[in-house]
Amino acid sequence: MAKEFIMGNEAIALGAMAAGVKVVAGYPGTPSTEVLETIAKRNDGSIYVEWSVNEKAGLEVAAGAAYAGARSLVTMKQVGLNVASDPLMCLEYIGIKGGMVVMVADDPGPISSQTEQDTRTQAFFSKLPLFDPSTVQEAYEMMIEAFDFSEKYGTPVFFRSTTRVCHGYASIDVKEPSEYHKYEVEGFVKDSSKWVIFPRLSLQNHKKIVERNIQLSDIFSEYERNFIISENDKNCRKGIATHSISYCYAMENLDESNMLRTFRVATPHPFPEKKALEFLEGLDEVLCIEELDPVIEKELIFICGKYNLKTKILGKMSGNIKVAGENTVESVGEAINVFLGKESEKATENDAPALPVRPPVLCAGCPHRASFYAVKEAMKGKKTLYCGDIGCYTLGNAKPLDMVDTCLCMGAGINIAQGIGHLEPDTSCFAFVGDSTFFASGITGVINAFYNQSNMTLIVLDNSTTAMTGHQPHPGTGKTMMGEIVSKVSIENVLRAIGLETVVTVDPLKLGEAISTVKEVSSKSGVKAIIFKSPCVAIIKPTGKNIIDSEKCTNCKSCIKKLGCPAIVLKDGKVAIDETLCTGCGICGEVCPFGAIGGGEGNE
Amino acid sequence: MSKNIILCGVGGQGTVLASKLLSAASMAKGLPVKSAETIGMAQRGGSVTSHIRIGDGAYSPLIPMGKADVIIAFEPAEAVRMLPYLKESGAVIVNSRPVMPVTAALGGSDYNGKEMTDYLAEKIDNLTVIDTDKACEELGSSKVINVLLLGAAISKCDIGLSKEDIRNAIGRIVPEKFHALNFRALDYIG
């Protein structure tokens, strides 16, 4: 055993390694990304690790490895699970040989996601067992247990965590590599009656899954992670049922003086029914403290109905816990006070001065700013539609650019532009998609638009990385997570192979050329594409700094109003460049009507 | 012993290293540590916060409101933003240098740091305001605000760790060529 101070996601990664994981795949997404990155970093070469093109591909890679008897892991964020749902729903009917864990990070808040969906609910839908840890230490230990359960019962299992567990740090005990689980991989054994999904097999296996989950409910009732605190206090008439980080928030509010019987649920599916009955015995009222869906609450109401118990179950559905957003120590404390009929401390009046708002913006020197500005400038005065997508470039919606009219999910912008364009033939429709998003789920959209005779301009914002999630490689970068240098997949070649006649690659930082390219390409009919190629500023060395010629500058603020670059600031009412932020991209020099902004080196 | 420390500032100011040093120093003393940081979209030019909980008895990685022993603020408005977390009689160490929001140039912000430090002076008894511009000029580097503020926190209030503890952590975490500079920053506020 060793002590390490690590992030929840690192603990999850080390847990998988201790369990003997041999194949790891995933697609980056906050707050899940660090799991796969940690395994890649600590890999001694014996584990195959890949960033897959999307979550569906990743899940299929992991399934194949598990078919062959290896322990495998696939990682994703909650919306990524939507992409992986097709193989996952079917995989449950087929089962696996080696232990397989589907690690999904949920994002209550949501802090950096489109939805507040709950993977626990997906566990009921897909029939997979699910593990839901509360702390970093538990995340480590439960990951090892999840692999054991998976292998023992021949089913993939969910390991679900939330932002505060994934991104919380703690000093925890971890195994030494010599203590890791070791085994031989048998390899894939052909058996078409087992591995080929047909309706007859699905019917058979459906029955088995239902029976297994009834059995697992009993086994989970004995699982030590589903525990009850203060169980023996028979005078206790009120109890709390909780899970994940909300358990920690509840414990912050409970001490010896006001300890309630508390049921911590680590496996909401299959729900540990017998343990729940133990917990409910003699209780008049239960407060369910959960984030996202009222999963425990519904299960307890179901159990009360089934066993004709009079216990009143409170939670989200009774208005005792907020239905959306994150819980906090304070919100949970308030809910417990109301539950116990206690007065809450009154919040002190906030008399603080107005605080500056610091919204997220595109970085200084970000090539996306130039790309958006080029399109905006080229299409001035025309009726336009700008469909955005998922990535840093969603921030192009902020003023003054204001260049994102829609954003839905990975790759959706292309076909949304197609749909709107179908009804508005006089609108110039644009879809902006990043390079990683293009590979993940843009290509089928382009084929759909092209084949169905759509009229639109595709803009690929190619910054040679997956920037938003911390610069992961993708098929266009020519690097893999195993450290190999490989052939790059060319976006331009892909588009040409689909059949697009007009595909132009241009550097957005050469603003004049970029604007004229947009004018020319967008005037053509059919589906045509511009690839704005310029690397993310966070991965390259700045070329220099720009400077303002104070004699030429009239303080018209045109640069500020057009670009909204964080490096252009007002100092004592005068336009100035913040040298600590400027990367010398030079586009402010190109928009200045008085030629007052000159390049540092590299922009001459 | 248990201590709750909040570090706050604006993305890029070096709060993460300060948080790492505190955690490493605590680990070295055999104390359990929990912490939480803001990660993701909020980091790009946004407010950043680290919660550090040293010692036994903490369940949540996030410090409950009104339970922080000390707030170490790299920016005056961020100190005010985090004030609800400070316990009664808690201490605040604050850098007086304001960081303008990146959108300030577009209008709609008349933020100034003085208003914030005045407010803090009115509310907080145990307040230390540090002009880091001046300090960094004397130290010869603008990259040591984090260690400078940590040193000040140790001198001005009890965070359960000594300068020696932090010095050892610097020795382990920071590249050797920056050791001398960081040690000077640590001792700048005696």
AA letter at B67: K
- Give the lowest-confidence range in A86-90, A349-353, A428-432, A478-482: A349-353
Tell whether A109 is within 8 A of chain B (Cβ). Answer: no
Please give the pLDDT value at position B102: 74
DSSP-derived secondary structure for A133-154: -SSHHHHHHHHHHHHHHHHHHT
Compute CA B48 distance to the chain's CA centroid, rounded to the nearest angstrom.
Answer: 11
pLDDT of residue B104: 75
Under DSSP, is residue B155 helix (H, G, I), strand (E, B) or coil?
helix
Band of residue A593 on the pLDDT scale cut at 50, 70, 90: very high
Evaluate if residue A27 carries a pLDDT over 50: yes
pLDDT beyond 50 at B74? yes
- Determine the longest span between alpha carbons in chain A, in angstroms: 85
> In this structure, which topology does domain B2-101+111-188 adopt according to CATH?
Pyruvate-ferredoxin Oxidoreductase; domain 3 (3.40.920)
Tokens of A571: 């100092």
Residue A231, pLDDT score: 73
Residue of chain B whose Cα is closest to the Cα of A348:
B84
A328: chain B residues, CB-CB within 8 Å = 62
Letter string b/e over residues A307-328, b meaning 16 or more CB atoms within 10 A of that residue's CB: eebebebbbbeeebbeeeebbb
Buried/exposed A473-512: b ≥16 CB within 10 Å, e otherwise: bbbbbeeebeeeeeeebebbebbeebebebbbbbebbbbe
- Quick one: pLDDT band at residue A233, thresholds 50, 70, 90? confident
Instruction: Tell me the chain A residues in contact with residue B26 when contact means C-beta distances shorter than 8 Å.
Output: 171
| Average pLDDT in chain A | 95
Q: Does A171 touch chain B (CB under 8 A)?
A: yes
Task: For helices A55-67 and A78-94, give the axis angle rounded to 10 degrees.
Answer: 30
Tell me: cis bond preceding A31? Omega within 30 of 0 counts.
yes
> CA of B69 to nearest chain A CA: how many angstroms apart?
16
Considering CB atoms only, which of B33, B40, B47 is closest to A170?
B33
Per-residue pLDDT, averaged over A438-454, amounts to 97
Sort out which chain A residues have CB atoms less than 8 A from B41's CB and list them.
Answer: 30, 111-112, 360, 468
pLDDT digits (tens, 9 = 90+) for B156-189: 999 999 999 999 999 999 999 999 999 999 999 8
d(CA A363, CA B128): 32
**Nearest residue in A to B100, CA atom:** A356
Q: Average pLDDT of A393-419? A: 95
Is the model's pLDDT at A476 over the cut of 70?
yes
Residue of A nearest to B34 (CA): A170
**DSSP strand pairing (B47-55 vs B33-37):** antiparallel
- Most A-contacting residue of B48, B102, B111, B112 (CB-CB within 10 A), to test interface: B102
Q: Which DSSP letter does residue A439 get?
A: I
Average predicted confidence (pLDDT) for chain B: 90
Instruction: Tell me which of B26-30, B104-108, B134-138 is least confident.
Output: B104-108
Summarised one tens digit per residue, pLDDT across range A511-532 is: 999 999 999 999 999 999 999 9
How far does B103 lie from chain A, in Å, by closest CA?
A: 7
How far is residue B6 CA from its own chain's centroid?
Answer: 7
Domains delineated in chain A: 2-187 (3.40.50.970), 227-339 (3.40.50.920), 367-533 (3.40.50.970), 547-598 (3.30.70.20)
Q: What percent of chain A has pLDDT over 70?
A: 99
Residue B65 with chain A: CB contacts under 8 Å = 329-330
Residue B39 is predicted with a pLDDT of 58
Residue A542 pLDDT: 81
CB burial string A387-401: b at 16+ within 10 A, e below: bbbbbbbbbbbbeeb
Angle at A27 between CA A25 and CA A31, to 5 degrees: 115
Among residues A190, A193, A261, the alpha carbon closest in space to that of A231 is found at A261
Contacts of B40 in chain A (CB under 8 A): 30-31, 111-112
In this prediction, residue A604 carries a pLDDT of 40
Mean pLDDT, range A227-245, rounded to an integer: 88
Minimal Cα–Cα distance from A485 to chain B, Å?
28
From A247, A329, A560, residue closest to B106, measured CB to CB: A560
Average pLDDT of the residues in B7-27: 91
Residue A526: CB atoms within 10 Å: 15
Facing residue for B111 by CB, picked from A247, A356, A395 = A356
Looking at per-residue pLDDT, the higher value among B111 and A80 belongs to A80
Q: Can you give the residue ranges of every domain in chain B? A: 2-101+111-188
The pLDDT score that the predictor gives to residue B166 is 96
> Quick check: A169 and B32 CB within 8 A?
no
Q: Report residue B102 as tokens.
A: 């990146």
CB nearest to A358's CB, from B34, B47, B83: B47
pLDDT at A600: 60
Average pLDDT over residues B52-74: 94
Reduced to 3 states, what is the DSSP secondary structure of residue B34? strand
- Contact between chains at B33 and A171 (C-beta distance less than 8 A): yes
Which DSSP state fits A258? G
Q: Is the pLDDT higher at A310 or at B105?
A: A310
Q: Which residues of A touch B109 (CB under 8 A)?
A: 356-357
Q: What is the pLDDT of residue A499?
A: 98
Which of A328, A355, A575 is opposite residue B81, by nearest beta carbon?
A: A355
Q: What is the three-class DSSP state of A596?
A: coil
> For residue A352, which residues of chain B lie inside 8 Å, CB to CB?
80, 83, 119
Calculate how close chain A gets to B141, using CA atoms only, in Å: 14
The pLDDT assigned to A41 comes to: 96
What DSSP line would sit under A170-225, residue for residue? EEEEE--GGGS-----------HHHHS--HHHHHHHHHHHHHHHHHHHHHHHH-TT
Decide if A560 and B105 are in contact by the 8 Å CB cutoff: yes
Contact A557, A575 (CB under 8 A): yes
pLDDT > 90 in chain A, percent: 87
- Using DSSP's 3-state secondary structure scheme, residue A432 falls into strand
pLDDT at A263 exceeding the cut of 50: yes
User: DSSP label at B84?
Assistant: G
pLDDT tier, A602 (very low <50, low <70, confident <90, very high otherwise): very low
Interchain contact, A353 vs B59, CB within 8 Å: no
Q: How many CB atoms lie within 10 A of CB A440?
A: 27
- Residues β-bridged to residue A504: A530
| pLDDT of the residue at B43 | 52
User: Angle of helix B132-139 relative to helix B179-188, nearest 10 degrees?
Assistant: 140
Whether B69 and B3 have beta carbons less than 8 Å apart is answered as yes
Mean pLDDT of A545-574: 91
Which one of B23, B54, B59, B123 would you mutate to disrupt binding with A, by most A Cβ within 10 Å of its Cβ? B59
Q: Quick one: pLDDT at residue A570?
A: 86
| pLDDT exceeds cutoff 80 at B103 | no
> Cα separation of A32 and A85, whole Å?
17
Q: Report in angstroms the alpha-carbon separations of A162 from A11, A416, A517.
A: 14, 30, 44
A507 pLDDT higher than 70: yes
- Is the predicted pLDDT of residue A57 greater than 70, yes or no? yes
pLDDT at A296 over 80: yes
Number of residues in chain A: 604
Q: Residue A79 and residue A106: Cα distance in Å, rounded?
A: 8
* pLDDT exceeds cutoff 50 at A603: no
Which segment of A74-83, A96-105, A336-345 scores lowest on mean pLDDT? A336-345
